[in-house]
Structure 1
Amino acid sequence: MFKNKLSKAQIQKLLLTWPSILVLLGLVAYPLGTVLLQSLFPKLMSQGFTNFSLQSFIITFKDNYTYRSILDALYLGGATAALTSIFGTFFAVLVYRKKIHGEKLITLLIWLIFFTPSYLIAEGWVLMMQRKGILSEMLAIPNGGLDWFFTPGGLITAMSFRLFPVVYISVLAGLRGLGSEYEEAARTLGAKSFLVWMKINVPLLFPSILAGATIAFAESVSDFGFASALVPQAHIPLITYSIYTAINKTPVNFSQVGVLSMVLIGVIALALWSQQLILGKGSYSSIKNQIRPFRLTNHKPIALTIFAYFFLCIAFVLPLSGELFSSFMKNTIRGFIASNFTFQNYIDALKIGSESYRAVVRSLLLALGTGVFAAFLGVGLAFVIQRGQGFSTRFLYVLTMSTLAIPGIVLAAGYVFAWNASYLVPMHLNLYGTLVCVFLAYLAGSLPHSIRLQIAAITQISPSLLDAGQVHGAGIFTLFSKILIPLLSGTLTATIYLIFSHLLFELPASELLYPPAQQLLPVEIVHFYNELLVEKGSALTVLGIVLILIVYGIGQLVIYALKRIKQMNSERIVQDILSDIKVGSDLKMSVPNSAIQMDIERQVT
């Protein structure tokens, strides 16, 4: 009997593992392989693997623009990583050590920066800093006074403002494990604060700082939002914009897209390899036993608080205020005069049947649908990775984690080629140019992050719960519906919202894959900006942000309602059980009714 059950469990794992691998191969490996193989087989889409050639690399690297793009990627990415390391570490220390007033508000603003799409912030900066822009009108700055922003230095600064929360999150986790033993010992010996930080704390926090800086480097190099907003004005060669330009050529330069995609992945891989190489040359262990928390003081310098809020206002409030001001104007060039303010941009965007309204609805449904699908599919794949063993499980894990390093523009380019091949026509699988293709690209980009979140949550569930369910004959569907899903409901809700808020403004996949005459919200916003209708684009941006807040509020109300229903049901069950219990006189004297009720409530809830 036991052997039969064990065999059944093995069959169930097998039926879960290989379909999971096939799903990720179809969603990620096939499109990615298609775009990268274009560099080695220039006629892959028409003639298959018959014409192997390195001519694409020779032609691409003969172009001086390619070298400039690579050098700019290394220079801009490295400078951005260094600057974000300073900003992120500074704010992590301020918040963790409670050195400022209102650290909760500071934390909220940092998380808002982290979740805001890069191209929204980039467009806001353009509106504020361009000639005859909002900032020039407000401060009467002469033409050319803000041109420094559209230089490599301005781009590095803007990207650092956008990406420093990555380092902040990493260093904050490192500070929690740092303890105070070494620092207190140094202060006992007379070391000053600056010396303590430079000789003790910063070296011990170096792995956390380097991890955040590496992610910031990869994000800055692969970011398409800043590239699409600033390259047309700054004329700075960037790899992501070069890939976009090659795809939009007529005819499409397939081989150049493949070469540039391979170069972009190579630059990111170089950064990840460098991180491992650096960390492998030293020991940074700081947790040797129970961590002694840092003793907080009530000393909170006003100067630090003012500086922190001023910095965040520049990094977040300033660019988004450009979007907000523009959305209420007829024409931003006319400046701040009463006759220039209007609600017409919002009226046009919300007009039922307009292209803007349809774009908002399409993006809303796609983002919500993908969020729900990716969250629940992520639970299944995370369960297989966490509970499975053997080569197939390890392969699935490596495939999932490697996808996190793939830039969104490269994955979207892969979908252009993978689902537009001539051999798919007889099978009716030519999905390019349909919303299904957009959905699959959204899903491929979101699924790895969903799996990571679900793995973290599943590791907190005791294996004995699942084993007990299997011993009592529960199948896979019962395990998921009765145990996993209820226990992971909080993580599932958070995952759905995070994916939704990201995909509503997802630019690379939307820009490259949207069907003709079926524009999506980010495409419509970029279209308005490109047509110099920045006021209408800003109104759509503000509406999208408001929509995200509304969905978040509705989600919180639903969660609160479900908790109340669960609490009311639990109280009703407790009262029913207590009313049926006939407690003898001896039991009444030894065990109070309140103790019995508390024990029942623990078991029910």
Structure 2
Amino acid sequence: MRSGFKESPGIFRNIGIILALFLLIVGIVVPLLMIFWQSISTEQGLDLLGPIRTIAGHELSGVLMHTIWLGVCVVAGTTLLALPLAWIMSKTRLGQHRWIDVVLMIPFMTPPYIGSMGWILFMQRGGYLQQWLPGSVAVSDAFFGFGGMALIMCLHLFPFLYLLLRDAIIRIGGNLEEAGAVHGASSSYRFRKIMLPLLLSSYGMGAMLIFVKTIAEFGTPATFGRRIGYYVMTSEIHKYISSWPIDFGKATSLASVLMSVCLVMWYMQSVMSRRFTYRLVGGKGQRSKRYALRGFAGVAAIAYLALLLVFSVGIPYFSIIAASLMKLRGAGLAWDNLTLEHYQELLSWGSVSLKALWNSLGLSLAASTIAVVLGSGFALVIGKSQRRTQRFVDLFSLLPNTVPGIVMVVGLVLFWNSPWLPVTLYNTYGIVVLTYVVLFLPYTVQYVKSNFTQIDGALFQAAQVFGGNPWLIARRILLPLIIPGMLAGWIMTFTISVRELVGSLLILPPSMQTSATYIFAQFEQGQASLGMAMAVVSVGMTVILLLIVEALKTNRKWNAS
């Protein structure tokens, strides 16, 4: 019987697919095609092999391999960090402390270049570590290499994979594990044969997005990577766009190659998702088994969580806060060298910095709300991706994560500033919100799709048998089950939009600043203390907003289990 709500190929689903394709083609595909056109257009005509010749002819193949190797290492590192943490927070009583989830989101809310600067200030010669431990010179020197760069990016990105794996483990529940235990399976055997196969779909999705995010990252390579001489594709693209002589054709050629790599990763993830996706949410209630923390296992779990918090939040934010309080950076850590003057200047009424902060919050709230509405609709249209049109919607919704943000933004500027358009958004607040929505739409789509594909169609069939119309089924069954994914997507979009730098630098109207561009400008002008103070204030306000959202989730009992 195929007449369920999810599988119904009625007119509403067809209209939804057509509308989704139209919005994605206009908002994403056409700007990217304009970028591709620039990469193959030459004075002599079209050169379809131009991007490959650019890589081979300018000795950039090594940079491409550096980029891919960095992505592989960061995926491996985030897996080692996120998988044990997801098990601890979903299977032990530590998961009842919701504030831990908010704290664990702080690294992802922090602008990558700010986190990198925090680590640089802490580990450099004469830095905070050596001021405490003068004999740590060897540790500091060893940190400034590829391993240190990969570690910084892992500590920045692991919360994303952690949230996906934690929610997937919660949806699995404890019934399957208990059944395995009844039949004599050991805990390690149950983990390998029950948990891991059921986690592969969510893990493949998270690993693919982390890989793409890593190779498209600009902030960490621009700060830490430049210091150690490790160059990746994004830093080369930025060099060709921002440094004279500007070579936009070469930059877009590099972006085309980078997009091809990411599309291959997307295809591998989609194959894994179709093969290892299981229906885990049905009509029966599920009880998630939680283990007591006793003895060595309890000490190890708490120690792991504490060390992770120290390295991901404690060290970088100690450096950030210390730098924001210093009168003179050269005077070092001393009580008489601390001051609150930077915060007073930052939050003074009518100041440029306060206006920049409010601009960031307003633009991010608008973008995250629009993105969660559009992303949820796209995820429902995609469904199980059985039809070719659904797979096109899935592919187009992921495209913003397959190219560097700076290239996507340039494509949007080219398109929305075209003279043949009847209405242009360029140089308005609308282009800023549109840019944030386009760049971060994939997060909502993937979160909601992850929840939606694991809902058993029998729930919708049962509702139809008892006379439920499609609107009632959507409101009483579908919406409550996908709300956790919608909230996760909204939070992710908001936190990233607040600290978005590259897009803001290129599309903000004149005389308008956001917190990210203000921080960047302060570093360029040598006012690092003001920039660090803005970082502390903006992240602090974001954490408060997340605490409010978590409180609402707890009160309404919006939980996928």
Query: Structure 1 length as normaliser, TM-score?
Result: 0.73
Provide the C-alpha distance between the structure 1 equivalents of 2:525 and 2:317, rounded to a whole number of angstroms: 20
For residue 57 of structure 1, the aligned residue among 32, 52, 56 is 52
Query: CA 1:249/1:385 → structure 2, altered by over 3 Å: closer, same or farther?
Result: same
In the TM superposition, 1:23-34 aligns within 5 A as 23-34=23-34
1:546 equivalent to 2:540? Answer yes
User: How far off its partner does 1:28 sit?
Assistant: 0.6
Instruction: Trace 1:175-186 onto structure 2 (pairs within 5 A).
Output: 176=172, 179=177
TM-score normalised according to structure 2 size: 0.78
Equivalences for residues 310-329 of structure 1 within 5 A: 310-329=307-326
Q: Aligned partners of 1:79, 1:488: CA distance in 2, in Å?
A: 32
Residues in 2 aligned to 1:183 and 1:560: alpha-carbon distance in whole angstroms:
31
Q: Does 1:435 align with 2:429?
A: yes
Tell me how far 1:309 sits from its aligned partner. Answer: 0.8
Aligned runs of 1:413-432 on 2, under 5 Å? 413-420=410-417, 424-425=418-419, 427=421, 429=423, 431-432=425-426
Aligned partner of 2:145 in structure 1 is 151
How far apart, CA to CA, are the structure 1 residues paired with 2:386 and 2:199? 34
Q: 1:470 to 1:317 in 2, by over 3 A?
A: same
Q: Distance in 1 between matches of 2:315 and 2:180?
A: 40
Match of 2:256 among 240, 255, 262: 262
Q: Which residues in structure 2 correspond to 1:356-395 (within 5 Å)?
A: 356-382=353-379, 395=392
Correspondence 1:224-235 to 2 at 5 A: 224-235=218-229
- 1:3-48 deviation per Cα after TM superposition (whole angstroms, max 9, x unaligned): xxxxxx98776665544322211211111111122221246xxx9x
> Which amino acid in 2 is paired with 1:161?
L
Amino acid in structure 2 at the alignment position of 1:41: S
Q: Does 2:200 align with 1:207?
A: yes
Is the aligned partner of 1:75 residue 2:69?
Answer: yes
Q: Is the 8 A contact 2:198 2:278 kept in 1?
A: no
Q: CA deviation at 1:75?
A: 2.0
- Flag the 1:469–1:392 CA change in 2: closer, same or farther, 3 A: farther
In the alignment of these two chains, the number of paired residues is: 533
Structure with the larger RCO, 1 or 2 (CA within 8 Å, 6+ apart): 2
The structure number with the bigger radius of gyration is: 1
Q: Partners in 1 of 2:181 and 2:193 — Cα distance?
A: 7
- 1:454–1:293 Cα change, 3 Å: closer
- The percent of aligned pairs where both chains have the same amino acid is 24
Residue 594 of structure 1 is matched in structure 2 by none
Query: Which residue in 2 is equivalent to 1:570?
Result: none
Q: Offset of 1:240 from its aligned partner?
A: 1.4
Q: Please say if 1:222 is aligned against 2:219.
A: no
Q: Is 1:399 aligned to 2:396, yes or no? A: yes
* Partner AA of 1:509 in structure 2: G
Distance in structure 1 (CA, Å) of the matches to 2:542 and 2:449 = 26
Partners of 1:495 and 1:271 lie apart in 2 by 22
Note the C-alpha offset of 1:297: 4.9
> Alpha-carbon deviations, 1:295-332, whole Å to 9, x = none?
83552422442243123211221112211111111222
**Is 2:521 aligned against 1:523?**
no
Q: Is the 8 A contact 1:128 1:319 kept in 2?
A: yes
SS at match of 2:230: coil
Please tell me whether the aligned partners of residues 171 and 205 of structure 1 are also in contact (alpha carbons under 8 angstroms).
no
User: Which ranges of structure 2 fall in alignment gaps of 5 or more residues?
Assistant: 1-8, 557-561
Describe the shift of the 1:184–1:25 C-alpha distance in structure 2 as closer, same or farther (beyond 3 A): same
Indicate how the Cα distance of structure 1 residues 483 and 417 shifts in structure 2: closer, same or farther if over 3 A, else same.
same
Corresponding residue number in structure 2 for 1:6: none
1:133 matched to 2:127? The reply is yes
Residues 385 and 397 in structure 1, CA contact (< 8 A), matched pair in contact too:
yes
Q: Is the CA contact (8 Å cut-off) linking 1:222 and 1:409 kept in structure 2?
A: no
Matches of 1:391 and 1:187 in 2, distance apart? 41
1:507 aligns with 2:501: yes
Contact 1:31 1:414 in 2 (8 A): yes
Equivalence map 1:451-490=2 (5 Å):
451-453=445-447, 462=460
Structure 2 CA distance, aligned partners of 1:294 and 1:479? 30
Q: 2:483 & 2:276 partners in 1: Cα distance? A: 39
Q: Which residue of 1 aligns with 2:5?
A: none
- Cα 1:197–1:133 shift into 2, 3 Å: farther
CA distance 1:218–1:355, change in 2 (3 Å): same
Q: Which amino acid aligns with 1:256?
A: K
**CA displacement at 1:128 relative to structure 2:** 1.7
TM-superposition CA deviations, 1:510-548 (whole Å, max 9, x none): 233333432321122122223332111110001101221
Pair 1:150–1:430, CA change in 2 (3 A): farther
Instruction: Report what 2:559 is aligned to.
Output: none
Distance 1:379 1:72, change over 3 A: closer
Q: Deviations over 1:194-216 (max 9, x none)?
A: 8x599767975783655544443
1:75/1:390 CA distance change after superposition, 3 Å: closer
The yes-or-no answer on 1:244 pairing with 2:238 is yes
Give, in angstroms, the shift of residue 335 of structure 1: 1.1
Q: Assess, with a 3 A threshold, how the Cα gap between structure 1 residues 547 and 331 changes in structure 2: closer, same or farther.
A: same
Which of 323, 341, 348 matches 2:338? 341
Distance 1:352 1:103, change over 3 A: closer
Contact 1:446 1:499 in 2 (8 A): yes
- 1:101-121: CA deviation from partner (whole Å, max 9, x where unpaired): 987665554344444443332
Cα distance, 1:495 vs structure 2:
4.8
- Kindly state the Cα deviation for residue 489 of structure 1 after the two structures are TM-superposed: 7.7
SS at match of 1:179: helix
Q: Using the alignment, how far apart are the partners of 2:346 and 2:325 within structure 1? A: 12
Q: What's the C-alpha RMSD, in Å, of the aligned pairs?
A: 4.6
Measured in 1, the distance between the counterparts of 2:348 and 2:82 equals: 42
Structure 1 Cα separation of the partners of residues 474 and 165 of structure 2: 35
* 3-state secondary structure, aligned to 1:413: helix
Say if 1:525 and 1:537, in contact at 8 Å, map to a contact too: yes
- Matched with 2:78 is 84
Deviations 1:475-506 (A, max 9, x none): xxx99999999998887666544422221111
Gaps of 5+ in 1: 1-8, 564-605
3-state SS of paired residue (1:336): coil
Counterpart pick for 2:328 among 327, 331, 335? 331
- In 2, Cα distance between the equivalents of 1:60 and 1:436? 36
**For residue 409 of structure 1, what is the aligned residue in structure 2?**
406
Q: Quick check: 2:255–2:403 contact (8 Å CA) kept in 1? A: no
Residues 1:124 and 2:118 aligned together: yes
